[in-house]
Amino acid sequence: MVYGLFFVSGLAVGSLYALGGIGLVILRNSTGVLNFSYGAIAAASAMFAWQVTEWGLPGIVSWLSAVLVGAALSIFYGRFVAPALAWREPAVKAVATLGYMLILLGLIGLIWDDALRKIALPSDKIGVSLFGVRVTLTRIIAFAVSIGAVVGMVQYLRRSHTGLNMRALADNRDHAALLGIAIVKTETLAWGISGALAGFTGLIFGSLVRLEPTVITFMVIPATAAAICGRLRSLPMTLAGGLFIGVVESMLTLYRPGASLRTMAPFVIAALVILWMQRDQQLTFATDS
Amino acid sequence: MRFSANSFVAAIAYCFASLAMPALADDPSCGLGTEVMATGEPIKVGGINGNAPPGDFSGGTDAAAAYFSCVNAQGGVNGRPIEYIVENDQWNPELAGQVATKLVKDEGVVALVGNGSVVSMAVNADLYRDEGVMVMASGCAISECYESSNIVSSNQGPLPSGIGALTYAVEELGSEYAACIGFNIPNNGGWACDWMNKFMESKGLKGTSILMDPTAVDLNSVYLQALAEGVDTILLMLPAAPAIGLLKVAEEQGGRDLFKWVSPTPLYDPGVAEVLGDYWNDNLYINIELAPFGSEGADNKNWVAVMDAYGQDGDRRDTFSQSGYVSARFFVEALLKLDPNAIDRAAVTKAIQGISNAESDLLCKPYYVGDADRHMPNHAGRMVAYSGGAFNIVRDCYDIESSYLDPIRQQEAALGINQ
């Protein structure tokens, strides 16, 4: 019974990691950029959603605004900064997003002081009991959206014309350009989808964990670990990785000496996955050219 | 020590100003209270706060700045204005060292007042001791702050406030087994929770520590760990934001009635009432280190008046702010006893160490400093219960029992202070 309790709790947190990881992988698959500013975009979106609520606008406007702000901030970087780095190494592209993260974090601190805030969603009040843990509808939504995002994106990439373009870009940007694929348009779409997911993740994080920009910003770390479990490519594996990290973290709580090591779980799991997956010597950050 | 005629007149004026203070509660009363702008040679005083994610500890320096402005407008320190130089260490140890060195060595401040920075205390305690400069802090939360010869804080920090909360839980709520949930930081959560457990053991009861990473996302597991431990009481040894996060998880899980919920001061924040809601009415008890924000005490009202008249827009009005006001007030009172022409660091350090039996209705017991290897003058507080978006006092001033205070009690006995 007690294991079930912690298992369910771990799945709930793991779905948040997975959501973050999925957004990272979608972007990485299409643009080759590992976006470390993902968490900061999520944080800015959550704070904006809170602000919209403070302005007295309806909840639905606030939630939509989180998604739109996430998409806008992501597209801004993707449209105006990322193209200048398009031909640089993947590590350079990734480090550049760290700069964007710091800028966003600074702006958030400038706009919103360090006061206590919360985002209350109607779904927080509705829940079911599983193994003794009350799982709110918000957590179920987070779980469902993470699965839905994986299924939807896999289908989108397989079946749609734009999805095909994205896959072509992911395979080889140079060849895709030669084939006449509208690179900027395709990449902008990928940045937008990823940003919208970041906005949604920030909103859910702000409600389920706490509306603290720093905490939301640094959720990119376990999200990256989840993405690495999917080798920054596979959406289903990223989902599985996120859920697995969440469950391991939660289960470690049961083992007293391991409880203080819980925060290491994402990194240890990611490292083990890298070691296992690199048996064929292919480097995770290697370019395909 | 030589006193000039000016300082004698000023001291008399100060005495009258002090006597008149309760009657002038709505008009700020500071220092000499002469309403003559100080124009003499400035006295340099420093202050360091930590204001960056993950927290804003600037309330102490904000209040000290407001009080010093008020002092300067009301005669200064016997005619000399205080030049208050505030630095923000941004929770960065390297920066904390740089700004302390700048203030202490380059600017040559005579003392630091209103400090509120966890990082700076740990990094600079040795510097303050080596340079013979005193820090009258206002926002301490780590062991170094209370176990250093040259730092004295007017706030209690997590240890006395936490034990105060547990004392209430044991005596009034019937707690027998308490979980102290704190950050996994050795000189903060680890230090304080260890002493919580010792307190419970000293009462023949049980205590356990549940320590979490400051950026932990999985608060559900932290809550469930307390559930699995079988405790009957949860002590939230956390800053307000993660404590609110944990309370939200508990609300999700229907945990209000499974535990007695107590907390040290951080949850006593004007913003808490706005985010908690009615669910926690009469089920959340908080120990407060200084007087309630709305207290009718003369000094509390003067704090409000000073902040209204001399504070800046956006200044925080929290416990650290009250604490900063208290530190600044006692500092100025110590300075006013000095010959204004002989104010240097050595004289100021000695004057601060000479503070004894200083009283304020913001504190439950007299404040003192003394020449000792550690300082903790404030270890008596009040208990409030959260109800209907407000905090109501459920137990007025009471002291704590802990062997941690043994050396402090010895100091107090040696100074003849009745704590």
Q: Can you tell me the ipTM of this complex?
A: 0.72
The reply to whether A225 falls in a domain is no
Q: Are strands B284-288 and B260-263 parallel, antiparallel or unpaired?
A: parallel
Per the CB < 8 Å rule, is B218 touching A6? no
Q: Which chain A positions have a beta carbon within 8 Å of B52's beta carbon? A: 109
Closest residue to B218, CB basis, from A5, A13, A114: A13
**Strand ranges for chain A from DSSP E:** 127-130, 133-136
Per the CB < 8 Å rule, is A253 touching B221? yes
Is any Cβ of chain B less than 8 angstroms from the Cβ of A105?
yes
What are the beta bridge partners of residue B399? B380
- With a cut of 50, say whether residue B272 has pLDDT above it: yes
Per the CB < 8 Å rule, is B244 touching A210? yes
What's the rounded mean pLDDT across residues A73-81? 94
Is any Cβ of chain B less than 8 angstroms from the Cβ of A2?
yes
Size of interface A-B (CB pairs under 8 A): 101
Q: Which of A101, A143, A211, A212 to mutate to test the interface with B (most CBs of B within 10 A)?
A: A212
What pLDDT score was predicted for residue B18?
43
Which residue range is the domain that position A148 belongs to? 12-217
Q: Are strands B82-88 and B55-56 parallel, antiparallel or unpaired?
A: unpaired
Is any Cβ of chain B less than 8 angstroms from the Cβ of A102?
no
CB B407 within 8 A of CB B170: no
Per the CB < 8 Å rule, is A114 touching B215? no
SS (HEC) of A36-57: CCHHHHHHHHHHHHHHHHHCCC
CA–CA dist B364, B352 (Å, integer):
20
- Measured on CA atoms in the order A256, A257, A261, A266, is the torsion positive or negative? negative
Over the stretch B168-208, which tens digit does the pLDDT of each residue have? 999 999 999 999 999 888 888 889 999 999 999 999 999 99
- With a cut of 50, say whether residue B9 has pLDDT above it: no
CA–CA dist A173, A167 (Å, integer):
10
CA–CA dist A2, B256 (Å, integer):
20
What percentage of chain B reaches a pLDDT higher than 70? 93
What's the rounded mean pLDDT across residues B156-168? 96
To the nearest whole Å, the CA of B279 is away from the closest chain A CA by 12
- With a cut of 60, say whether residue B134 has pLDDT above it: yes
CA–CA dist B356, B275 (Å, integer):
40
Residue position matching structure tokens 């002469």: B34
Instruction: Tell me the CA distances in angstroms from A208 to B15, B28, B110, B213, B220, one per residue in order.
Output: 55, 44, 48, 17, 10
Closest residue to A6, CB basis, from B53, B211, B224: B224
Residue type, B45: V
What's the rounded mean pLDDT across residues B243-269? 91
CB A107 within 8 A of CB A44: yes
Per the CB < 8 Å rule, is A249 touching B218? yes
Q: Which chain B positions have a beta carbon within 8 Å of A16's beta carbon? A: 217
Total domains in the fold of chain A: 1
CA–CA dist B252, A138 (Å, integer):
11
Q: What is the distance between the terminal CA atoms of chain B, rounded to a whole angstrom? A: 30
User: Which of these, B296, B270, B214, B306, lies nearest to B386 by C-alpha position?
Assistant: B270
Per the CB < 8 Å rule, is A116 touching B248? no
Rounded to 5°, angle at Cα A202 from A198 and A208: 140
Q: Which chain A positions have a beta carbon within 8 Å of B53's beta carbon? A: 105, 109, 114, 213-214
Closest residue to B241, CB basis, from A105, A212, A259: A212
- With a cut of 90, say whether residue B268 has pLDDT above it: yes
Per the CB < 8 Å rule, is B228 touching A259? no
Confidence of residue B24 (pLDDT cuts 50, 70, 90): very low
What pLDDT score was predicted for residue B10?
46
Higher-confidence residue of A12 and B165: namely B165
The reply to whether A261 falls in a domain is no
Closest residue to A116, CB basis, from B220, B252, B275: B275
The reply to whether A94 falls in a domain is yes
CB B185 within 8 A of CB B215: no
The reply to whether A136 falls in a domain is yes
Ordered structural domains, chain B, with CATH: 5-157+293-378 (3.40.50.2300), 158-288+381-415 (3.40.50.2300)
Higher-confidence residue of B196 and A124: namely B196
CA–CA dist B120, B94 (Å, integer):
9
Over the stretch A127-152, which tens digit does the pLDDT of each residue have? 888 777 788 888 888 889 889 989 99
Q: Which chain B positions have a beta carbon within 8 Å of A115's beta carbon? A: 271
CB B24 within 8 A of CB B62: no
What percentage of chain A reaches a pLDDT higher than 70? 95
Task: Concatenate the DSSP letters of all residues of A190-244 into one string.
Answer: HHHHHHHHHHHHHHHHHHHT---HHHHHTTHHHHHHHHHHTTTT-HHHHHHHHHH
What pLDDT score was predicted for residue A36?
92
Confidence of residue B54 (pLDDT cuts 50, 70, 90): low
Least confident of A251-255, B242-246, B289-293, B301-305: A251-255
Is any Cβ of chain B less than 8 angstroms from the Cβ of A116?
yes
Confidence of residue B53 (pLDDT cuts 50, 70, 90): low
Is any Cβ of chain B less than 8 angstroms from the Cβ of A216?
no
The reply to whether A282 falls in a domain is no
To the nearest whole Å, the CA of A102 is away from the closest chain B CA by 11
What percentage of chain A reaches a pLDDT higher than 90? 33
The reply to whether A184 falls in a domain is yes
Instruction: Tell me the CA distances in angstroms from B368 to A75, A84, B391, one per residue in order.
Output: 58, 62, 29
CA–CA dist B337, A274 (Å, integer):
68
Per the CB < 8 Å rule, is B211 touching A260? yes
User: Which of these, B333, B316, B343, B345, lies nearest to B65 by C-alpha position?
Assistant: B316
CB A121 within 8 A of CB A138: yes
What percentage of chain B reaches a pLDDT higher than 90? 70
Per the CB < 8 Å rule, is B218 touching A259? no
The reply to whether A208 falls in a domain is yes
